[in-house]
Chain A
Amino acid sequence: MEFLNALVAITNYVIIPATAYGAQLALGALGVTLVYSILRFSNFAHGDTMAFGTGVVILITWGFQAMGISFGPLPTALLALPFGIVVTSALMLGTDKVVYQYYRKVKAAPVVMVMVSVGVMFIMNALTRFLIGVDQINFADGARFVINARQWREMTGMSEPLTLRSTQVITVVTAILVVWALFWFLGRTRTGKSMRAFSDNEDLALLSGIDPNRVVAVTWIITGALATIAGTLYGLDKSFKAFTYFQLLLPIFASAIVGGIGNPVGAIAGGFVISFSEVGLTYAWKKVVTYLIPNWEPDGLVQLLSTDYKYAVSFTILILVLIFKPTGLFKGKIV
């Protein structure tokens, strides 16, 4: 019984939150890795793109709510999501036309492209704040729980509570659908295959008649969509605050690099490695320890790292990967 209680506590406080967070990171890292493999630079504006997309979704959600449209037990934001994706992808295409296109034409060094993405980051940052401000916004509506603590107790009769929030289920289900769609697109469609060819060897792809402008445009559309979905899921699960999204840049980059930058499977694996380490190391294990070791009450919280240092986890994993396996877990590109 004690062992089961420990298991429930771990599921409730570590496995469920880390799975949801990992799915959000994975979607973010997929966007970074896609831009990296097709356009060949690290996009510093990605965090703010996520914030912008989420901001648009929130505005549309409010519009729907004002009109009395709802999605039943599901959050209204899911209805607004497609519109947010369209707006964000359009912005991405516009940014490419106005900003990035020129640097591709002059074949600028990757590090110059990174600097350019910092400029884009500033502008996205301002746009998001013009749009929605800097405050914390909670925009999740619909049913809050799939299983709440009382239902769990009635179901199992266990004293240790377990809750499953609907946003966590939605995050994971959406992420699975999105990843499936992305892999189907990259593996099965003509455009997807030409994108992979372009990523593997640009010159060869150009020689075989692939239109680079089309590949780049599709990449930006997908990046905008991934960023909006990742941002909205994160915002539904926690809450929206523009600056938090900028700070997500570090765990997202860490996920992409841990998995092997430029490799989509790696980005997903990296997201879960980062999220499980972060949640696992910052969780106070006292409850689990008291269940597992009878007759011993630890003095402290048995927390390895205070939650204020959660970014240190991403950083440390990043450093370890850079030292021991710079190509990442799944062989990424190394240039």
Chain B
Amino acid sequence: MSTSRQADSAAGGRLRAPLFFALMAALIVLEGMTSGWNSALGILNMGLLSAIMALGVNMQWGYAGLFNAGAMGFVALGGLAPVLISMPPTQGAFKAGGFGILAAFAVAAIAVLGAVWLYRNLRGKLRGLAVTGVLIVGFFAYRWLFDPAVEVIEAINPSAAGNLGGLGLPTLVSWPVGALLAACAAWLVGKIALGLRSDYLAIATLGIAEIVVAVLKNEQWLDRGVLNVNGIPRPWPVPYEIDLQNSHAFVAKMQAWGIDPTLGSTITVKLAFLLLFVIVIFALIWLTEMSLRSPWGRMMRAIRDNEVSAAAMGKNVTRRHLQIFVLGSAVIGLAGAMMISLDGQMTPSSYNPLRYTFIVLVMVIVGGSGSNWGSILGGVLIWYVWVKAGDWGPDIMALLASPFPAGPFKEHMIDSAAHMRMLVMGIILLGVLRFSPRGLLPEK
């Protein structure tokens, strides 16, 4: 019995991945034929970005068993990079307040480092007093430098700018910078929370995510806060719709193919983004698969499967955990930066923990913990379900509510359909964890 089942799953194993990906492609094509290619490509592009986030979370959860409850924070931090790197600088902002802000940060860093140094080198009662004193003085010095600088910057052309602006570099440069920003934050959190109880990391990441989003919402000098940054430049090969529509060659070509030029231009833009995303995904998959097959990958699996024995073999478990946590967060940050370039705007109030943290976990679990291709499949599939559950929810609810007489109860039922997707996600997550804990494409 057991041998024949193993044989079955081995035969299914070879066909499993292509089959699921073919199913996924069929769903996207179906969407294209029923609701138009703009919608289908839109879902696919966001799905692939979610897949990159899932790849990052999978590195943490799947390779090492680390629970990151703050993917949203790293997505948001990555998203800051296009604003700071590829937006044009605000005229005079840096000169007016930039140095003040840099000086304030320098003071803060010196105060923190000084406090750490004092803590390590002093003993007894003096230590507590000295550390507290340095931190308090540092805090007031920081505020004394920081507040006037912020006031000056936010006063510059507040209706359109009021922030520092960016460096005006190409957008593609901002993607790795987004990864770097997320990696730095991850190092800080990981350094403190790793090596303690396993769910302390989850709670610490939950906190850092809330704080990152609070900073993005409130620090106007940085990213205009809730006023949003619009018109973030697109990455290099992606054209603008309006340029395509004004190009005679493009219009002539579209007309020759019998496609409306406006529709053609939006689809061309989406395809260009798609191409970029696919390149990034293949690069990431190649890197991760190579590293998983290397001795390093074997070590990571050994640590995940049995921390005690890996530690007994002389592996520094906490250090490895920190390493993988930082790498995974960098991938999540990369996806965050790419998402802002795709949207062309930074809207800090749109970061929602359910969408950017917990759905990504569902993607990883459904795809198969530890399986990179599984994360890609899970990313696109779950994003598709998420979008579609939003579309179908009202229809299903209307059907369910049809026997009831019109009135407040029926209205309430139809209004609440929007929350259907949460229920669907919960059921999918619990169902997969219970009945198929290895996911759709299990790790080999």
Contacts and interface: CB of A to CB of B under 8 A. Distances in A.
Contacts of A119: 426, 429-430, 433
A114 B69 CA distance: 10
Contacts of B147: 300
Contact of A318 (B67, B204, B217): B204
Interface string B186-213: 0000001100111110111011101100
8 contacts: A99-B430, A119-B433, A122-B423, A134-B419, A308-B217, A311-B210, A315-B208, A335-B197
Indicate the member of B192, B197, B218 with the most A CB atoms within 10 Å: B197
B390 interface: no
A123 interface: yes
Contacts of A253: 203, 206
A186 interface: no
B103 interface: no
Contacts of B425: 122
B217 A250 contact: no
Nearest to B196: A326
A42 interface: yes
Interface of A: 41-42, 44, 99, 102, 109-112, 114-116, 118-123, 125-127, 129-130, 133-134, 246-247, 249-250, 253-254, 257, 261, 300, 304, 306, 308-309, 311-312, 314-315, 318-319, 322-323, 326, 334-335
Contact of A122 (B196, B218, B422): B422
Contacts of A300: 147
Contact of B419 (A130, A319, A334): A130
Interface string B217-252: 110000000000000000000000000000000000
Q: Which 10 A-B pairs have the closest CB atoms?
A: A122-B426, A315-B207, A123-B426, A126-B423, A126-B422, A119-B429, A129-B419, A119-B430, A42-B199, A311-B210
B61 to A, nearest CB: 8
Indicate the member of A116, A126, A129, A133 with the most B CB atoms within 10 Å: A126
A254 B210 CA distance: 13
Contacts of B206: 249-250, 253
B161 interface: no
Contacts of A122: 354, 358, 422-423, 425-426, 429
Interface in B349-384: 353-354, 358, 361, 365
Contacts of A326: 196-197, 200
Nearest to A335: B197
A247 B419 CA distance: 18
Contacts of B361: 115, 118
B130 to A, nearest CB: 16
Nearest to A102: B434
B346 to A, nearest CB: 17
Nearest to A310: B214
Contacts of A314: 207
A268 B273 CA distance: 52
B412 to A, nearest CB: 8
Contacts of A311: 207, 210-211, 214
Interface in B322-356: 353-354
A108 B75 CA distance: 30
A102 B433 CA distance: 11
Given A42-B202, A111-B198, A309-B214, A121 B207 contact: no
B415 interface: yes
Given A122-B422, A126-B423, A247-B210, 17 more contacts: A44-B202, A110-B199, A111-B67, A111-B199, A111-B202, A114-B202, A115-B365, A115-B429, A118-B361, A121-B358, A122-B429, A123-B426, A133-B415, A309-B214, A309-B215, A314-B207, A322-B196
B65 interface: yes
Name B's interface SS: helix
A304 B425 CA distance: 40
Contacts of B208: 315
B427 interface: yes
Interface residues of B, number: 43
Nearest to B211: A312
A250 B203 contact: yes
Nearest to A124: B426
B387 to A, nearest CB: 17
B211 A126 contact: no
Nearest to B353: A246
A102 B437 CA distance: 13
Given A129-B422, A130-B419, A42 B429 contact: no
A274 B51 CA distance: 37
A118 B425 CA distance: 10
Contact of A315 (B198, B211, B423): B211
B203 A118 contact: no
Contacts of B365: 115
Given A311-B210, A314-B207, A125 B354 contact: yes
Nearest to A112: B433
A322 B207 contact: no
Contacts of A318: 203-204, 207
B420 interface: yes
A249 to B, nearest CB: 7
B203 A257 contact: yes
A129 B354 contact: no
Interface in B92-144: 139
Nearest to B426: A122
B416 interface: yes
B217 A111 contact: no
Contacts of B353: 246
Contact of B429 (A111, A118, A250, A254): A118
Given A114-B202, A257-B203, A120 B354 contact: no
Interface in B10-59: none
A116 B433 contact: yes
A300 B140 CA distance: 13
A53 B434 CA distance: 26
A267 B215 CA distance: 29
A116 B192 CA distance: 25
A294 B354 CA distance: 50
A322 B200 contact: yes
B314 to A, nearest CB: 24
Given A122-B425, A123-B423, A315-B211, A42 B218 contact: no
A121 B433 CA distance: 14
B208 to A, nearest CB: 7
Nearest to A99: B430
Contacts of B203: 42, 250, 253-254, 257, 318
Interface string B403-431: 00000000010011001101101110110
Contact of A115 (B200, B354, B426, B433): B433
A257 B201 CA distance: 12
B213 to A, nearest CB: 9
A308 B147 CA distance: 16
Contacts of A312: 211, 214
A236 B429 CA distance: 33
